[in-house]
Amino acid sequence: MILQVSSSPHIRDRSSTPRLMLDVVIALIPALIASIYMFGYRAALVTAVTVGSAVLFEYISRKVMKRYNSISDYSAVVTGLLLAFNLSPTIPLYIPVIGSFIAIVIVKQMFGGIGQNFVNPALAARVILTLSYPSAMTRWAILASRAKDAGAAAVNGAAGGADLISAATPLYLLQDSGGQVTSDMPTYLHMFIGFKGGCLGEVPILALLIGIVYLVIRKTIALWTPLAFVGTVGLLTFLGGQDPLYHMLSGGLVLGAFFMATDYVTVPLTRSGRVIFGIGCGLITSLIRLFGGMTEGVSFAILFMNLLTPHIERLTTPVPFGGRAHEKQ
């Protein structure tokens, strides 16, 4: 008989890192299916290339750095999926590969791998790509066969792939019209289902919501950050004199708030910290959307708040049960 010893506790629950990551992958699948429906095979192709290269870079970098192989924790798949969801369906296929390299090798593995990156890898990659390839990253398009649903002004002329025609994003249209929703812009329903221009994963709000419900039921994510984020955007755009619902449904807000601002690694550990994080993201997003030169600010907002995470965490360190807060020194 061999006696096994270890420190207590001697029982563990069934959760595991791979299972949590797999939950996120499962939650993103409805949106992936919807975007393939919306954008055609290009969406599948862009996703496959991004996820494939992300996993490959993860494998190679772990090998080169002589660390244990970590591709089986699915975190690279999640990063790949999220990065693909931030790309336009018309993007030349070498750009996602560069994006995966930035996300996995530079942002994640060079800082120590899973749990160690200080900003969201997929978002950092998106921002770097947007700055490096501005036109390719913002050439939005929609499948010609779905165009008639997407509103007249959203679609102008043919461009991109065979049956993809270019389409402006609702936020672009909104900025163009001085913040007023006009009749030739996509309706709420179209925005909700996803008949509009935009990134792969930004578009199908309904499908994203299905995934969000799954994550909440599985208790993989808590809604503190996303609700604070979306709520702040709604409130501030309303105060700014624009249509809050239109703002909440457009751009990367839902994808960003529920899938990026809930990324475990780069948000504060404390609950109050997460609420502050969400409010901060909402504030910066609204400021960029209302006053900035760019049409969209979700990714910059989250990245900026990622950098503030350690500070928020320090400010919201909980007081122990029965204890008192530290006195200021």
Residues that bind another protein (CB under 8 A): 1-13, 15-17, 19-20, 73, 75, 112-116, 264-265, 269-271, 317-324, 326
Query: How far apart are CB 190 and another protein at their closest, in Å?
Result: 36
Q: Which is nearer to another protein, 47 or 306 (CB)?
A: 306
Tell me if 245 sits within 8 A of 234, measured CB to CB: yes
Tell me if 225 sits within 8 A of 275, measured CB to CB: yes
Dihedral pair phi/psi, residue 152, rounded to 5°: -65, -50
- Three-state DSSP class for 117? coil
Cβ-based burial of 329 (10 A; exposed 0-12, middle 13-18, buried ≥19): exposed
Query: How far apart are CB 116 and another protein at their closest, in Å?
Result: 7
Query: How far apart are CB 271 and another protein at their closest, in Å?
Result: 7
- Three-state DSSP class for 203? coil
d(CA 126, CA 123): 5
Instruction: Please choose, from the candidates 327, 313, 294, 325, the residue with its C-alpha nearest in 3D space to the C-alpha of residue 126.
Output: 294
Who contacts 115 (Cβ-Cβ below 8 Å, separation ≥6)?
264, 265
Query: How far apart are CB 319 and another protein at their closest, in Å?
Result: 6
Tell me if 130 sits within 8 A of 166, measured CB to CB: no
Q: Which is nearer to another protein, 5 or 131 (CB)?
A: 5
d(CA 45, CA 22): 21
Query: How far apart are CB 329 and another protein at their closest, in Å?
Result: 10
Query: How far apart are CB 21 and another protein at their closest, in Å?
Result: 9
Query: How far apart are CB 43 and another protein at their closest, in Å?
Result: 29
Strand 155-158, strand 141-143: pairing:
unpaired
Q: Which is nearer to another protein, 293 or 322 (CB)?
A: 322
Tell me if 251 sits within 8 A of 169, measured CB to CB: yes
Q: Which is nearer to another protein, 266 or 286 (CB)?
A: 266
